[in-house]
Amino acid sequence: MFNLDEVLGEAENRVVRETFGEGETTFTVDLQCVSRQDLEVMRLKSVTKVLDKQTRQYRDEVSTEKMREYVRDHCIVNWKGLTIGKVLAICNKAPTKPLLDRLKEDVPFSKESAWSLLQNANGFEEWVWEKISVVADELAQIEADSKNG
């Protein structure tokens, strides 16, 4: 009997190239597509128990830090066209005198740089979540369609 879960388990995740930003701050980001199930596992791993001081009961709270770590480690795989000037612009920072000559210098991709963008760039984290969620929904729909014939 055909087992779709087995096929999906053996397949590699797709990588899609999307454009972030507007005008002169645009650059492309390579995002690894993850399934809806992967996103749910990530969310569950990001939950911690926190004591509510008023009710004196524990409640689940999603850790933003853990969610960012997951996105950094599993979803953002590369970028192109990101410069120091663009980083300063999307993070609402003004260049200092030593940086003025380096504004067009490319920012190479690294996990550390991805972490900094997720924490500091206006709208970047939300944009990544939107993109990976849309793709996860598309993958879930394809899986559902194939199961329903």
Q: What is the pLDDT along the chain (149 residues), one digit of tens a residue?
A: 666 666 666 656 678 899 999 999 999 999 998 877 888 888 888 888 888 888 889 888 888 888 889 889 989 999 999 999 999 999 999 999 989 999 999 999 999 999 999 999 999 999 998 998 887 777 667 667 767 76
The whole-number pLDDT of residue 50 equals: 85
Say if CB 90 and CB 25 are below 8 A apart: yes
The SS3 assignment for 56 reads coil
Burial of 88 (0-12, 13-18, 19+ CB in 10 A): middle
State the alpha helices, DSSP H only, in 25-92.
36-45, 64-74, 84-90
pTM of the model: 0.76
d(CA 105, CA 83): 5
Cβ-Cβ contacts under 8 Å for 57 (sequence gap 6 or more): 51
